[in-house]
Amino acid sequence: MKIFLVKLITLFALLGFVGASANEHEAAPEAQVTEKQETYVGKDFSLMVKDFLKTTGVNAILNPDPNELSATGKPMSDFHKGWGRVLMILVTFLIFWLAIKKGFEPLLLLPIGFGGLLANIPVADIAGPHGFLGVIFQAGLSNELFPILIFMGVGAMTDFGPLLSNPKTALLGGAAQFGIFGTLVGAVALSQYTDIFHFTLQQASAISIIGGADGPTSIFIATNLAPELLGAIAVASYSYMALVPIIQPPIMKALTTDKERRIKMTTLRHVSRIEKLIFPLLVLTLSILVLPDSTPLIGAFMFGNFLKESGVVDRLSDTMQNAMINIVTIMLGLGVGSKLAADQFLVPDTLAILLLGSLAFSVGTAAGVIMAKIMNMFPGNKINPLIGSAGVSAVPMAARVSNKVGMEYDRTNMLLMHAMGPNVAGVIGSAVAAGVLLSIFK
């Protein structure tokens, strides 16, 4: 005990010494700070109140500071410093309403909305490089860390069983990626033939990835190719994902006949544990061989899935599925929200992004349904085209929509598990599409 105490004391003494020497190094700048403080002179109380009033939010909104720079260090217009912020704060209230009252992806829209609210506060500069939103953004979004962590958690939540028992449905998940590339052409056409929008190919690609219906992938690509559009892209991506039950059914019904909607699919076979364990490694190996640019996303996804299927690290897989993904979701939401600052969001481009995003979703849904109809022309087990729409990732919302629409026509037709196949294949498909886009711009 005595020896322990002595050791402890020596340790503290040592630490104190190190601390003291560090202080000596910092002594120079500290002296300057104290000097500055000494220049403070007593002020008249009325002057003090007047100075204080100049620092209020009301004043900042009414009389924008001409020297104020945006969070990215660029000059802003007076509108973006003043009323634009008020408008954006109202927009975040709208996001709260959508999330709470309408139940649109509240897990993400609430942190994003609140981040946006904080980012639009004048004077405090919370989204700036030294504000806490700015720090969060630097820590995990500008280096694409958070989307990757989310992907791990999603991987740990994913069950590839339905896909493994009917692998050909993966093609539906591929076809739905047409939403991405079709929109890409749409976005560049918009900037080529109109004078309002000028999207570069990088920006167009980042916008079109919304069609992948996969939040983390969208954020990953946007931070890589067009960080200036991140806020709008993330918000569009998550809001459309929430709107899947509204956007998809009309398209699905328009493209299918009554007979097709009643197709019953053969029951899924049992998938052994080893098959499930090998699959993540198999897909990762393929992506290493074909498209290494997609391996950050697919690698993280398969890592999570591999841990889950291994069955020996339930603690880790449980943490990924719950604690980790929840913590990262908070950070990711706030970080994305910091991009809802008026100067970055209240621009004409945002409108185009929202429009193109909904186009991307609709085209992807249609392509998946049409692909199922094409596959039905070939011999083999018939596929209910309603599960084609689940090819746009949006796990598991899109699969639930397929199930629901199927049940509308035949109460006994359970499509949920069949739709999960293309659904998870859609995640892989959009990660591959993302990899292609990244590799093009290397």
Partner 1 sequence: METNLVLEGTKFMFLGMGTVFVFLVIMIVATNVASKIINRFFPEPVSIPKEETQNTQNNKKIVAAITAAIMHHRQG
Q: Which residues bind partner 1 (CB under 8 A)?
A: 164, 167-168, 170-171, 173-174, 177-178, 180-182, 184-185, 187-189, 191-192, 201, 204-205, 271-275, 278-279, 282-283, 286-287, 290-291, 425, 428-429, 432-433, 435-437, 440
Task: In angstroms, give the least distance from the CB of 192 to partner 1.
Answer: 5
Sequence-separated (6 or more) residues with CB below 8 Å from residue 321: 153, 156, 157, 308
Q: Which is nearer to partner 1, 82 or 186 (CB)?
A: 186
CA–CA distances in Å: residue 201 to residues 84, 188, 189, 206, 406:
29, 7, 10, 9, 39
Q: Which is nearer to partner 1, 82 or 173 (CB)?
A: 173
Q: Which is nearer to partner 1, 320 or 387 (CB)?
A: 387
Task: In angstroms, give the least distance from the CB of 432 to partner 1.
Answer: 5
Rounded Cα distance, 203 and 226, in Å: 5
Q: Which is nearer to partner 1, 49 or 282 (CB)?
A: 282
Q: Which is nearer to partner 1, 64 or 174 (CB)?
A: 174
* Of residues 338, 340, 366, the one with CA closest to residue 353: 340
Which tokens hold the place of 423?
Answer: 């659904």
Contact 185, 169 (CB under 8 A): no
Q: Which is nearer to partner 1, 271 or 330 (CB)?
A: 271
* Partners of residue 75 on adjacent β-strands: 69
Would you mind telling me the total number of residues written for the chain in this entry?
442
DSSP 378-415: SSSS---GGGGGGGS--TTHHHHHHHHHHHHH-TT---
Q: Which is nearer to partner 1, 127 or 163 (CB)?
A: 163
Q: CB count, 10 Å around CB of 122?
A: 20
Task: In angstroms, give the least distance from the CB of 152 to partner 1.
Answer: 20
DSSP 24-58: HHHHHHHHHHHHHHHT-----HHHHHHHHHHTSHH
Which residue shows structure tokens 């090819």? 391
Task: In angstroms, give the least distance from the CB of 383 to partner 1.
Answer: 14
